[in-house]
């Protein structure tokens, strides 16, 4: 019974963590585009977007990440036998990638808060798909567990990634042609 409560809390914070990651990168896109605007529009937008990013990052995303990982550790301590399952080991690999993605977002967040722009808005749009790929991988691993045929799973993830990239290129063309 206690396990299900901890699992529910873990899932709630995983959802809010991903929501924060998806939205923070969207804010990065807006911040980068605002930095290219003329004054005074540039300064007005930058000030507002920095405030929005700060609130999202410090009040929602970081706390959600910490709580999601904390409840995950608690779950693993309650069911240590899962650590021997191949699906869990692969899932933990994707969680590690998610943490690296989060830390990279933190680095970009800090740069943009200081007004330092090192990436294009197009790069950030593409970067945003990293969290999507990790989310899909983790959800399918957890839901299918031992039913996953690893070859099909890997091929499916590659195909999904290719479709995301093609969708991105299509969207980029639309934006360049002024149709978005």
What pLDDT, in 10s, does the model give residues 142-159? 887 766 566 677 677 778
Average pLDDT over residues 129-138: 88
43 vs 174, more confident = 43
User: Can you give the residue range of the structural domain that contains 96?
Assistant: 2-176
Peptide bond into 40 cis (omega under 30): yes
Distances (CA, A) of 84 to 30, 79, 81: 43, 10, 6
| Mean of pLDDT values over 14-37 | 97
Q: Which of 61, 83, 93 lies closest to 157, judged by CA?
A: 93
Answer whether 24's CB lies under 8 Å from 64's CB.
Answer: no
pLDDT at 149: 67
Top-confidence residue, 168 or 149: 168
Given this model, what pLDDT does residue 146 score? 65
Sign of CA dihedral 157, 172, 107, 47: negative
> pLDDT value at position 150?
63
Q: At 152, which helix (H) or strand (E)?
A: helix 150-176
The three-state secondary structure class of 115 is coil
For the stretch 5-9, contacts whose Cβ atoms lie closer than 8 Å and that sit 24 or more positions apart, written own/partner, are 6/71, 6/74, 6/75, 6/78, 7/71, 7/75, 9/67, 9/71
Band of pLDDT at residue 163, cut at 50, 70 and 90: confident
Q: For 95, what's the count of Cα atoms within 13 Å in the CB-facing half-sphere?
A: 17
Q: What mean pLDDT do residues 69-77 have?
A: 97
- Residue 109: Cβ within 10 Å count: 23
* pLDDT > 90: percent of the chain: 64
Q: What is the pTM of this model?
A: 0.86
Going by the annotation, the residues of the binding site for heme are 10, 91
More confident residue, 140 or 131: 131
Per the structure, the count of domains in the chain is: 1
Q: Average pLDDT, stretch 94-121?
A: 96
């Amino acid at each position: 019974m206690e396990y299900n409560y901890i699992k529910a809390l873990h899932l709630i914070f995983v959802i809010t963590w991903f929501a924060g990651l998806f939205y923070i990168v969207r804010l990065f896109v807006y911040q980068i585009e605002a930095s290219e605007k003329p004054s005074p529009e540039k300064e007005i937008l930058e000030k507002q977007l920095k405030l929005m990013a700060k609130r999202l990052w410090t009040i929602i995303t970081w706390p959600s990440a910490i709580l999601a990982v904390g409840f995950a550790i608690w779950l693993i301590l309650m069911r240590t036998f899962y650590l021997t399952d191949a699906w869990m080991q692969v899932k933990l690999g994707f969680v590690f990638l998610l943490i690296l993605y989060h830390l990279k977002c933190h680095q970009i967040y800090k740069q943009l808060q200081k007004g330092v722009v090192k990436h294009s808005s197009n790069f950030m749009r593409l970067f945003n798909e990293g969290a999507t790929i990790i989310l899909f991988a983790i959800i399918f691993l957890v839901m299918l567990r031992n039913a996953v045929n690893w070859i099909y799973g890997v091929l499916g993830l590659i195909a999904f990634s290719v479709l995301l990239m093609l969708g991105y290129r299509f969207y980029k063309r639309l934006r360049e042609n002024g149709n978005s």
